[in-house]
């Protein structure tokens, strides 16, 4: 316990960790933490579909060119990248509870800004709103790591995957709120394509309340206090230094980032491709819903596989599914059925790769260094996706949807070759 002679800025662990707590007593707390994270993810996921699908359509409308539609995904992922490090630092200083709720509130403000941009017909303001909405993605990513703070080693990937899975409910519901959103938007006098953003703003505000009220036992502060590192994590290694000095962490971060970039590049252009080929808004929403279901619905299966079979084989499984999705998109772009199948495979490949890769990130360094590495991972993940989304629009305009699918296979090839080399050399954390 701290004394009166301790520095005034030292942070006592007592408010977060009951006296005498031991690791074997953490299972009830972990179950509660997982329940709270699941609730927050369900709410936060509602805005995800609207951000990446309606956002691209709104960007094309306000800019006057489909070539700018990729900026929706770019700004969203750029916002997530910019929020990753500050939210990770806030988690170290104040805990996951404050960090997650703050990010959700920023995302809610982004949804309101997107609505305003359509009302005043301002494309730059839309980009700002989408960037702020990206903080919701940063919260989504940090929440999966929050699930690992107190998780036993043997179930770390499973616990992480449960939080990833919970996004399914909200994320699948989000795109299907396009129709009701338009009804609500019309009743409120809002411009077309903005009604669903009303739901996104309300859901993010509700998620912030869930995190604030539910994470009274903060998983990160508890984990650091148990290991005697509470209040000192800010003096540990930076994420960049960890990446430079730890090959295992470097590989894990790269595998997650490249897999995410592959998914964003193709998925963000699918609504534009479908609309250009006569698909209705309902069909677009249904296709994106199936894709998001692929991303999250089977994540517990991939988490279980990663715990049982190992992280690297499950990453390779994910890359195989990503490759299949890209080849279908490249060879059957004119078929709505084939595009839908491609998007489902794309989601499954993302899930397998990101669940196993994130588990590797979480176990690559001691707990006091995890927030820094996790922040660097989320930054790299979203920066790579922002670049992929930015390039996807011009690529679509130049070589079409098929060309985009074939070109994206280069990202998969990098991960496959790197993973195969690590398996061959027997590399371990």
Domain ranges of the chain: 27-425
Query: Quick check: 249 pLDDT over 80?
Result: yes
Residue 427: predicted pLDDT = 63
Please tell me the distance from the alpha carbon of residue 403 to that of residue 22, in angstroms, as a whole number: 55
Tokens standing for residue 247: 């090959």
Chain centroid to Cα 360, Å, comes to: 16
The mean-pLDDT minimum among 72-81, 105-114, 325-334, 396-405 falls in 72-81
Higher-confidence position of 36 and 426: 36
Q: May I ask the CATH architecture of the domain 27-425?
A: Up-down Bundle (1.20)
- Work out the burial of residue 97: count CB atoms within 10 Å of its CB; fewer than 13 is exposed, 13-18 middle, 19 or more buried: buried
Dihedral class, residue 206 (left if φ above 0, else alpha if ψ from -120 to 50, else beta)? alpha
Q: What is the pLDDT of residues 298-345, one digit of tens each?
A: 899 999 999 999 899 999 999 999 999 999 998 988 888 899 899 999
Q: Is the predicted pLDDT of residue 95 greater than 80, yes or no?
A: yes
Q: Count CB-CB contacts under 10 A for residue 15.
A: 13
The helix (H) or strand (E) run that includes residue 403 is helix 370-425
Task: Evaluate if pTM is beyond 0.85.
Answer: no
Task: Return the top range by mean pLDDT from 332-341, 357-366, 382-391, 406-415.
Answer: 406-415
Residues near 396 by beta carbon (within 8 Å), at least 6 away in sequence? 66, 67, 70, 269, 272, 273, 404
Residue 397: closest CA among 276, 263, 261: 276
Is the pLDDT at 388 greater than 50? The verdict is yes
Q: Which one has a higher pLDDT value, 250 or 66?
A: 250
Q: What is the pLDDT of residues 3-54, one digit of tens each?
A: 434 343 333 333 344 444 444 455 578 888 999 999 998 888 776 665 666 7
Residues 47-86: b if buried by 16+ CB within 10 A, e if exposed: bbbbbbbbbbbbbbbbbeebbbbbbbbbbbbbbbbbbbbb
What is the mean pLDDT of the segment spanning 62-84? Answer: 79
Q: How far apart are alpha carbons 272 and 374 in whole angstroms? A: 33
| pLDDT-derived band at 411, boundaries 50, 70, 90 | very high
* Cα-Cα-Cα-Cα dihedral sign, residues 40, 41, 42, 48: positive
Given a contact cutoff of 8 angstroms between Cβ atoms, the answer to whether 160 and 147 are in contact is yes
- For residue 61, the model assigns a pLDDT of 79
Name the average pLDDT for the chain. 82
**Nearest partner of 67 among 333, 400, 319, 347, judged by Cα:** 400
Check residues 271 and 410 and name the one with the higher pLDDT.
410
Task: Tell me the percentage of the chain whose pLDDT exceeds 70.
Answer: 87
Lowest mean pLDDT among 221-235, 300-314, 353-367: 221-235
Q: What is the pLDDT of residue 226?
A: 79
- At 398 the pLDDT is 86
* Mean pLDDT in residue range 107-125: 90
């Amino acid at each position: 316990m701290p004394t009166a002679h301790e520095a005034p800025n030292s942070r006592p662990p007592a408010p977060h960790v009951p006296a005498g707590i031991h690791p074997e007593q953490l299972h009830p707390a972990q179950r509660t933490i997982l329940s709270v994270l699941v609730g927050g993810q369900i709410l936060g996921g509602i805005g995800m579909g609207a951000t990446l699908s309606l956002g691209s359509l709104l960007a094309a409308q306000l800019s006057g060119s489909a070539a700018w539609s990729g900026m929706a995904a770019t700004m969203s992922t750029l916002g997530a990248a910019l929020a990753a490090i500050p939210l990770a630092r806030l988690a170290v200083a104040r805990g996951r509870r404050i960090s997650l709720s703050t990010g959700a509130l920023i995302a809610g403000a982004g949804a309101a800004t997107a609505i305003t941009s359509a009302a005043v017909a301002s494309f730059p303001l839309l980009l700002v709103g989408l960037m702020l909405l990206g903080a919701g993605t940063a919260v989504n990513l940090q929440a999966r790591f929050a699930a690992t703070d107190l998780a036993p080693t043997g179930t770390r990937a499973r616990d992480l995957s449960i939080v990833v899975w919970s996004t399914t409910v909200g994320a699948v519901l989000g795109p299907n709120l396009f129709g009701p959103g338009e009804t609500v938007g019309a009743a409120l006098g809002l411009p077309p394509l903005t009604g669903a953003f009303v739901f996104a703003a309300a859901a993010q505000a509700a998620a912030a309340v869930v995190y604030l009220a539910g994470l009274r036992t903060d998983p990160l502060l508890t984990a650091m206090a148990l290991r005697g590192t509470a209040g000192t994590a800010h003096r540990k290694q930076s994420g960049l230094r960890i990446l430079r000095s730890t090959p295992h962490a470097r590989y894990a971060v790269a595998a997650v980032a490249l897999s995410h970039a592959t998914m964003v590049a193709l998925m963000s252009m699918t609504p534009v491709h479908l609309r250009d080929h006569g698909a209705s808004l309902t069909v677009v929403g249904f296709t994106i819903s199936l894709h998001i279901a692929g991303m999250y619905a089977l994540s517990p299966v991939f988490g279980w596989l990663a715990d049982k079979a190992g992280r690297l084989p499950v990453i390779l499984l994910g890359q195989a599914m990503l490759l299949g999705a890209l080849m279908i998109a490249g060879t059957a772009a004119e078929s709505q059925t084939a595009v839908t199948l491609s998007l489902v495979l794309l989601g499954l490949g993302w899930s397998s790769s990101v669940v196993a890769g994130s588990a590797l990130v979480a176990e690559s360094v001691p707990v006091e260094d995890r927030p820094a590495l996790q922040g660097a991972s989320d930054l790299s993940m979203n920066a790579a996706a922002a670049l992929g989304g930015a390039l996807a629009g011009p690529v679509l305009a130049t070589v079409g949807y098929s060309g985009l699918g074939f070109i994206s296979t280069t990202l998969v090839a990098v991960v496959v070759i790197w993973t195969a080399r690590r398996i061959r050399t027997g590399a371990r954390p």
